[in-house]
Chain A
Amino acid sequence: MAEENAQNAIVDYQFGFHDPETATIRFDSGLSEKVVRDISELKGEPEWMTEIRIKAFHRFEQMPMPKWGSDILEQIDFDSIIYFLRSSEKTEKNWDDVPKDIRNTFERLGIPEAEQKWLGGVTAQYESEAVYHSIREDLEAQGVIFLDMDSGLKQYPEIVKKYFCSVVPYSDNKFAALNTAVWSGGSFLYIPKGVHVEMPVQAYFRINAKNMGQFERTLIIADEGAKINYVEGCTAPTYSTDSLHSAVVELIALEGSTIRYSTIQNWSANVYNLVTKRGVAHANSTIEWVDGNIGSKLTMKYPAILLRGEGAHAEVISVAYAGKGQHQDTGAKVHHLAPNTTSNILSKSISKHGGRSSYRGLLQVTPKADQCRSKIVCDALILDPESRSDTYPTMEIGNSTADIEHEASVSKVSGDQLFYLMSRGHTETEAMGLIVNGFFEPFTRELPMEYAVELNRLLELEMEGSIG
């Protein structure tokens, strides 16, 4: 059954190719305190980091699997996963120095080309660690720090120590504990006071090996008045056995700053994607999560924003596409902790071929947070009778001056819409693609142009053969 699913997925999934493994260090599968210590030792980390890892590991062992969300969670076999795999001895600054096979992979994914055209910096992570890393010189000159997380810890241990686990404590949930114990790679980004980084900075994550666990850790700090647009993309080959991607992302937006974090997650349908993303927004700052979930077997991800300072603003725009065998359990959490804070949440999902998409959200207004405003809109499209859509919103309002609105709707593509478009000369598939693109338009509008084009192309591919 799993094999058959994978075969089906291979047909649809254009990034399902894999390269020969080129591991220089490869841990045996399974997790123990020794594995955690070995990772830390291998990386030559300071003692405090090793200690956090060990504490987090014990916490992970104690915590039960979440009872909510999805039954598929119970299928994860933590013993079969490889927790660390090094495929290149160092992180290169020049694509020519990256091992040939890996370079080929990223070329097929179009990363070096995109970098030349429109990116301010790139990190490319292959398995557990970054293999390529660069940042434009002008940004470096302005004091912008953009490193892979391992180098960040080596070069700026004070900053990392101050903020690591400050937004997502390791005890937050089972997968945050797991990530903290075995994290490797990810991005470390610091934007100094008042610096506006106009070109997006990108990280690209690739899992290549079978049964691989990727546990990147990202920390972004925007100092007062700074501005950054960070983009990440993810793909993996299609195997019949499962891989685990469990990242933790922490954002710190200091006074008056803006962080936009965009994700296009396009993992193959054998990846569990269990990610904790959370940001703290100080006074008059803005955090925006732009989150697209197209791939994976199961995604559980609820980007969160703590509006801690007066006048802070949260924006979450997410789309999810759940096809055959997929469950996208996504949503948003916003905590209004300070007065005059505002938030907008827009969630759009499509379920097709028996897929399930769920919106799970929390909106909280604490008693001290006067004059908060929030608007939540969830729209779902169901494309066939086998598919499913759920909405699980929670609103906790503890302040009488709050103004909160939530609306949700579930609908299907109407026959009239299809007929209209077909009467204008489109095939049924094209018509469906147009409607789906239109449905996701409020999301794609927010993406950098190149990403929006890519997303539309992906969706059109997904739509092909969707008419049964």
Chain B
Amino acid sequence: MISYLDIAVPPRSVHLWRYTPWKRIHPTKVDEVPTVDEFFFSEGIDFQSSSSDEIARSFIHTVSKKSVFLELIDQITDLNIRASGHMSAGELKIKSSGNSTLIIRLSGEPGWAGLRITGEVEGQLSVVLVNDLAKDAHLLRCDDWKVSRDSKLEFSTLSSGGFLIKSDIRVDLTQPGSSCTGAIASHGHESRHDDHHVEIIHNAGHTNSTLVIHSACGGSSHSVSTGLLTIVKGADGSDAGQVFRNLLLSPKARAEAIPELEVLADDVKAAHGAASAAISPEQIHYLCTRGLSPSQASSLIVEGFLMDAFRNVKNQKVIDVIRTRLLVHLECLVNG
């Protein structure tokens, strides 16, 4: 097995590392393997994880002292992950079957946190990660999901906490009938840097995926959405779509979007779109005619815009969790 230090630092020409290069998300220096504290997991049993030849995954694996395994069979599970100490990391392996729901809440006040998730889905799994880290935390998150025959993964992320976020989510639709729905809402406020990368690979025919990333960009925040949809040769009858939207709220905010498509099969539907725009004055005016002040109106539009990222998510429990967390988050911001 290749060790972390043997892996070359990826160049910035790879779009995954273009805006948040590896040295920026590494907690110390790229050639160091620091000692970090372990995550607290409210559920799961200890297990022996394996490494990866991808730099970020290998790094988290190398520094983690805690790996837990969680099996979900037709159940709804709340998982609290708490990061403590200056640097903190952990690995989570999920195996789900039947119709399951997993609600992950990541909290704590670390300087740096590294979370690696690997998951195998049979049946249906709706998983949501709410990032509730304290506002100066750095987070590196790597997910790898395999979705088996006629199974479905819904993954949702509400990214409102922390200061510097790099998330790299990869989904492998391995067999005919696999599908996934991905939704990420990111709220850029103050000088938050929120970088989300999603790769979905259609490795079999008749696989479907949708991906929606909504970023509301305020303050002097920097939002990055990069994606790669690949439909391999012979994966006919597949349908893939990704939409990235940026709502630009402040003159100092920046937003980057790279929605990539690689299509090697001919009998498929693949589409992507991206849009960046400021809040529409017509929307503000409409809400003002209903008595909302301009700032109330724009806050409501932001809330709606972020919730709209989850329009394809079918799991109502997940939607409720996100809505509640989002409201609390926005209220806290308004009221300081």
Contacts and interface: CB of A to CB of B under 8 A. Distances in A.
Interface of A: 67-68, 367, 380, 382-412
Interface residues of B, number: 39
B274 A400 contact: no
Interface stretch (B50-58, B175-183, B248-256): B248-256
B270 interface: yes
Contacts of B269: 409-411
B266 interface: yes
A297 B275 CA distance: 34
A402 B246 CA distance: 11
B13 A397 contact: no
B263 interface: yes
B119 to A, nearest CB: 28
A303 to B, nearest CB: 20
The 10 residue pairs across chains A and B that have the minimum distance between CB atoms: A400-B248, A391-B261, A382-B266, A404-B276, A406-B274, A410-B270, A409-B271, A407-B273, A395-B257, A397-B255
Contact of A67 (B11, B233, B253, B263): B11
Contact of B271 (A386, A399, A410): A410
A386 B236 CA distance: 12
Nearest to A364: B256
Given A390-B260, A406-B259, A410-B271, A397 B254 contact: yes
Contact of B267 (A385, A389, A408): A385
A385 B277 contact: no
Given A399-B251, A400-B248, A400-B251, A410 B261 contact: yes
Interface in B233-248: 233-234, 236, 246, 248
Contact of A412 (B11, B251, B258, B267): B267
B206 interface: no
Contacts of A408: 259, 261, 271-273
The B interface is mostly helix, strand or loop, or mixed, namely strand
B43 interface: no
B276 A402 contact: yes
Contacts of B274: 393, 395, 404-407
A395 B256 contact: yes
Interface in B7-32: 11, 13, 15
B227 to A, nearest CB: 11
B262 interface: yes
Contact of A367 (B11, B251, B256, B270): B251
Given A400-B217, A411-B269, A393 B276 contact: no
A220 B278 CA distance: 37
B236 A385 contact: yes
B233 A385 contact: yes
Given A406-B259, A407-B271, 20 more contacts: A380-B263, A382-B266, A385-B233, A385-B236, A386-B233, A388-B264, A390-B261, A391-B259, A391-B260, A393-B257, A394-B257, A396-B256, A399-B248, A399-B251, A402-B276, A407-B274, A408-B259, A408-B273, A409-B271, A410-B271
Contact of A384 (B266, B272, B277): B266
Contacts of A397: 246, 248, 254-257, 276
Q: Of residues B252, B260, B261, which shows the largest number of chain A Cβ atoms within 10 Å of its Cβ?
A: B261
Contacts of B270: 409-410
